[in-house]
Structure 1
Amino acid sequence: MSNSERQPLLEESQQHVFHISRADIPVYPDSLPGESHGKNLTWSSAYILVISRVIGSGIFATPGSIVRSAGSVGLTLLIWLVGTILSACGLSVSMEFGSMLPRSGGDKVYLEYTYPRPRFLASTLVAFHAVVLGFTASNCIIFAKYTLFALHIQPTDLQYKTLAIGLLTAITIIHGFFLKTGIFIQNALGWVKIFLIGAMTLTGIWVLLLQFFGSAIDTFPGAEHTTLLSWDSLWEGSNWSWSLLSTAMFKVIYSYSGLNNINNVLNEVRDPIKTIKTVPTAAFYTAGALYFLANLSYLLILPLNEIKESGELVGALLFERLFGNTIGSTLFPLVIGVSAAGNVMVVTFALARINQEIARQGFLPWQNLLSSSRPFGTPLGGLIVHYVPSLLVIALPPQEDVYNFILDVEGYPGNIFTLAVTIGLLVLRYKEPNLPRPFKAWLPAVWLRALLCVALVVTPFIPPQGGQGDVHFFYATYAIVGICIILFAILYWYVWTVFLPRRGGYKLEEVTEALDDGTPVIRLVRSYFSR
Structure 2
Amino acid sequence: MTIHNVLDSEVLAQSGDSDAQDEGNTLSAAGAPIERNNPLGYKVTLLSSVMLNLGRMLGAGIYSVPGVILNSVGSVGLLFVFWLLAPLFAFGGLMVYSEYASMFPKRSGAEVVYLEQAYPRPKFLVPIMFAVTSVLLSFSATNSIIFAQYALTIFDIPITPERQTTVALAVCAAGMALVAFSTKWSLRAVNFLTGLKVLSLVFLVFTGALVLGGFTRISDPYANFRSPFSGSTTNPNSLATALVKTNFAFAGWNNAFSVIGEVHTRDPVRTVRKASLLSLLLVACLFFFVNVAYVAAVPKDEIRNSGQLIAALFFQRVYGESFAGKTLPIMVALSCFGNLIAMAVGQTRALREIARQGLLPYPRFFASTKPFGTPLGPVCLKYFLTVFVMVALPARDAFNFLLDLASYPNLVFHVATAIGLWLLRRRRALAGLAPSKYRAKHIYVSLYLLSSIFLLIMPWIPPEPGHGDVSFWYATYCVVGLGVLAMCGVYYWLWIIVLPWLGGYTVVEEVERLEDGALTARLARKYHPSAADADNGERQPLIASS
Fold conserved between structures, TM > 0.5 = yes
1:259-408 to structure 2, matched below 5 A, reads 259-269=253-263, 270=265, 271-408=267-404
Q: Deviations over 1:479-512 (max 9, x none)?
A: 1111011111111111111111111111112112
- CA contact under 8 A between 2:210 and 2:216: conserved in structure 1? no
For the structure 1 residues 32 and 156, does the alpha-carbon distance in structure 2 shift closer, same or farther, using more than 3 Å as the test? farther
Q: Deviations over 1:171-222 (max 9, x none)?
A: 23343346655444333222221111111222233334x1xxxxxx2x6233
1:226-241 to structure 2, matched below 5 A, reads 226-230=222-226, 232=227, 234-241=228-235
1:79-228 to structure 2, matched below 5 A, reads 79-103=82-106, 104-177=108-181, 181-208=185-212, 210=213, 217=214, 220-228=216-224
- CA contact under 8 A between 1:137 and 1:406: conserved in structure 2? yes
For the structure 1 residues 20 and 109, does the alpha-carbon distance in structure 2 shift closer, same or farther, using more than 3 Å as the test? farther
- CA contact under 8 A between 1:16 and 1:267: conserved in structure 2? no
- CA contact under 8 A between 1:26 and 1:510: conserved in structure 2? no
Rounded Cα–Cα distance in structure 1 between residues aligned with 2:29 and 2:189? 41
Q: Deviations over 1:61-86 (max 9, x none)?
A: 11111111112111211222222222
Provide the secondary structure at the position in 2 that maps to 1:440.
Answer: coil
Q: Does 1:35 align with 2:40?
A: yes
Q: Does 1:410 align with 2:403?
A: no
Alignment correspondent of 1:469 = 468
1:258 to 244, 249, 252: 252
Alignment correspondent of 2:534 = none
Stretch moving more, 47-56 or 482-491: 47-56
Alignment correspondent of 1:59 = 62
Q: Deviations over 1:268-298 (max 9, x none)?
A: 3312343254332222211111111011111
Alignment correspondent of 1:448 = 447
Residue identity opposite 1:60 in structure 2: Y
Provide the secondary structure at the position in 2 that maps to 1:525.
Answer: strand
Provide the secondary structure at the position in 1 that maps to 2:120.
Answer: coil
- CA contact under 8 A between 1:167 and 1:341: conserved in structure 2? yes
- CA contact under 8 A between 1:24 and 1:119: conserved in structure 2? no
**Could you list the runs of 5+ residues in structure 2 that have no partner in the other structure?**
531-546
Rounded Cα–Cα distance in structure 1 between residues aligned with 2:391 and 2:18? 45
- CA contact under 8 A between 2:38 and 2:262: conserved in structure 1? no
Aligned residue pairs, count:
511
Rounded Cα–Cα distance in structure 2 between residues aligned with 1:24 and 1:145? 47
CA RMSD of aligned residues (A): 2.7
Residue identity opposite 1:462 in structure 2: I
Residue identity opposite 2:127 in structure 1: S
Rounded Cα–Cα distance in structure 2 between residues aligned with 1:476 and 1:51? 31
- CA contact under 8 A between 2:52 and 2:190: conserved in structure 1? no
Deviation at 1:332, TM superposition (A): 2.4
Rounded Cα–Cα distance in structure 2 between residues aligned with 1:113 and 1:345? 29
For the structure 1 residues 33 and 457, does the alpha-carbon distance in structure 2 shift closer, same or farther, using more than 3 Å as the test? closer
Alignment correspondent of 2:543 = none
- CA contact under 8 A between 1:18 and 1:28: conserved in structure 2? no
Provide the secondary structure at the position in 2 that maps to 1:511.
Answer: strand
Deviation at 1:32, TM superposition (A): 8.4
For the structure 1 residues 46 and 342, does the alpha-carbon distance in structure 2 shift closer, same or farther, using more than 3 Å as the test? closer
Deviation at 1:400, TM superposition (A): 2.0
Deviation at 1:515, TM superposition (A): 3.8
Residue identity opposite 1:293 in structure 2: F
Q: Does 1:26 align with 2:22?
A: no
- CA contact under 8 A between 2:71 and 2:467: conserved in structure 1? no
For the structure 1 residues 153 and 368, does the alpha-carbon distance in structure 2 shift closer, same or farther, using more than 3 Å as the test? same
Deviation at 1:427, TM superposition (A): 2.5
Residue identity opposite 1:436 in structure 2: P
Give the TM-score of the pair, scaled to structure 2. Answer: 0.86
Q: Deviations over 1:150-186 (max 9, x none)?
A: 3333311111111111111232334334665544433
Deviation at 1:475, TM superposition (A): 0.7
Residue identity opposite 1:296 in structure 2: V
Deviation at 1:382, TM superposition (A): 1.3
Stretch moving more, 514-523 or 444-453: 514-523
Q: Does 1:70 align with 2:64?
A: no
For the structure 1 residues 464 and 33, does the alpha-carbon distance in structure 2 shift closer, same or farther, using more than 3 Å as the test? closer
Deviation at 1:130, TM superposition (A): 2.0
- CA contact under 8 A between 1:223 and 1:300: conserved in structure 2? no
Stretch moving more, 177-186 or 431-440: 177-186
Deviation at 1:316, TM superposition (A): 2.3
Alignment correspondent of 2:544 = none
Residue identity opposite 1:149 in structure 2: T
Alignment correspondent of 1:420 = 416
Stretch moving more, 192-201 or 473-482: 192-201
For the structure 1 residues 239 and 400, does the alpha-carbon distance in structure 2 shift closer, same or farther, using more than 3 Å as the test? farther
- CA contact under 8 A between 1:360 and 1:522: conserved in structure 2? yes
- CA contact under 8 A between 1:409 and 1:482: conserved in structure 2? yes
- CA contact under 8 A between 2:46 and 2:272: conserved in structure 1? no
Provide the secondary structure at the position in 2 that maps to 1:228.
Answer: helix
Deviation at 1:431, TM superposition (A): 4.3
Stretch moving more, 483-492 or 267-276: 267-276
Alignment correspondent of 2:242 = 248
Rounded Cα–Cα distance in structure 2 between residues aligned with 1:276 and 1:326? 42
Provide the secondary structure at the position in 2 that maps to 1:509.
Answer: strand
For the structure 1 residues 161 and 518, does the alpha-carbon distance in structure 2 shift closer, same or farther, using more than 3 Å as the test? same
Identity between Structure 1 and Structure 2 (%): 33
Rounded Cα–Cα distance in structure 2 between residues aligned with 1:328 and 1:286? 25
**Could you list the runs of 5+ residues in structure 1 that have no partner in the other structure?**
211-216
Q: Deviations over 1:351-372 (max 9, x none)?
A: 2333233233322223343333
